[in-house]
Amino acid sequence: MNARSITTSRELPRSIEELLRRSPVLFTAAVVHLALLVLLLGLASLDERLVLGVNAWIKPAKFAASIAIYLLTINWLIGDVALPPRGRRAVVWGTVALVSFEMIAISMQAARGVASHFNESSPFDAALFALMGIAILANTALAAYLAHRFWTTRPPLPAPYLWGIRLGLVVFLLACAEGAFMSQQSGHSVGVADGGPGLPIVNWSTRGGDLRAAHFFGMHGLQAIPLVGYWLSARESGSAPRARRAARWVIAFGVGYGAVALGLFLMALAGRPLVRM
């Protein structure tokens, strides 16, 4: 075992310990969703039913993975900004409750063998989809509150990292707005019906526009942009000029990342697939 692998093996337990210190509730919820991911993938191998041409359990499995990543991200971020006790409780418990409700609803619909999103085929399905929309809107409000705290206060963080967090939250919130646009359109495909031929794993349409590509890319700006800021903060530390230069690079990266997300959105609206097959 070389020195690099030894360092990595030591850093992982420290990172877990830090996440537990910041919020054991969020960390535990993330672990539960990772365990659920394994269970759902197991169900996908046993149950061959299809929903819109895809195994019924694949969608909840993807959501379990995405929610686990989101929970761990919020878990980390709340340790980097000062929150009043009531605001902290709202972010922690509200986030866990809202995303868990969405996960339960999606899994329940998969068990029934029906679509979870844009499904208004019965009063029950329509009501459940509406409740999911309310939960997503409330969770977006919590993320907006967190963004407000990062933008209006000055946490004791290196400037490149702080700008990465701020811009990552902005891009994430714009992607949430795009999710609301999809709900208003009652579908994610443009120019073709939902459920047609798609790319492996993500199932984005290969025949027409698919709004999910921009939504996915924008949502994960919440991880990508702060990570770049964190990396540049460590790499360019040591002098004020280097830190300022690194902050400018992070801002440029964040703006460019948002521009790519916007380009994917406009491409989908024009009915053009990310990859035509």
Assess contact for 72 and 26: CB atoms under 8 A. Answer: yes
* Per-residue CA distances from 102 to 74, 99, 183, 199, 239 (Å): 17, 5, 15, 24, 46
Assess contact for 219 and 172: CB atoms under 8 A. Answer: yes
Residue 6: pLDDT band by 50, 70, 90 thresholds?
very low
How many whole angstroms separate alpha carbon 70 and alpha carbon 176?
13
How many whole angstroms separate alpha carbon 75 and alpha carbon 20?
8
The helix (H) or strand (E) run that includes residue 55 is strand 54-55
What digits encode the pLDDT tens for the residues 85-125? Answer: 999 999 999 999 999 999 999 999 999 999 999 999 999 99
Quickly count: other Cβ atoms within 10 Å of residue 217's Cβ. 21
What digits encode the pLDDT tens for the residues 146-155? Answer: 999 999 998 9
What digits encode the pLDDT tens for the residues 208-256? Answer: 999 999 999 999 999 999 999 999 998 876 678 888 899 999 999 999 9
The helix (H) or strand (E) run that includes residue 50 is strand 50-51
How many whole angstroms separate alpha carbon 209 and alpha carbon 163?
32
Task: Please give the backbone phi and psi of residue 212, each rounded to the nearest 5 degrees, phi first.
Answer: -65, -25
Helix, strand or coil, per DSSP, at residue 153? coil
**The predicted structure's pLDDT at residue 9:** 52
How many whole angstroms separate alpha carbon 148 and alpha carbon 12?
30
**The predicted structure's pLDDT at residue 195:** 85
Instruction: Find the angle CA(28)-CA(30)-CA(36) to the nearest 5 degrees.
Output: 105
Encode 168-218 in three state secondary structure. Answer: HHHHHHHHHHHHHHHHHHCCCEECCCCCCCECCCCCCECCCEECHHHHHHH
Mean pLDDT, residues 197-209: 91
Sign of CA dihedral 106, 109, 113, 117: negative
Q: Are strands 209-210 and 54-55 parallel, antiparallel or unpaired?
A: unpaired
Lowest-confidence region among 2-6, 37-41, 91-95, 99-103:
2-6
What pTM, to 2 d.p., does this model score?
0.93
Q: Is the pLDDT of residue 5 over 70?
A: no
DSSP string of 91-149?
Answer: HHHHHHHHHHHHHHHHHHHHHHTS-SSS--SSHHHHHHHHHHHHHHHHHHHHHHHHHHH
**The predicted structure's pLDDT at residue 12:** 64
**The predicted structure's pLDDT at residue 235:** 83
**The predicted structure's pLDDT at residue 7:** 47
**The predicted structure's pLDDT at residue 10:** 63
Residue 21: pLDDT band by 50, 70, 90 thresholds?
very high
**The predicted structure's pLDDT at residue 3:** 43
What digits encode the pLDDT tens for the residues 139-196? Answer: 999 999 999 999 999 899 999 999 999 999 999 999 999 999 999 888 999 999 988 8
Residue 1: pLDDT band by 50, 70, 90 thresholds?
very low
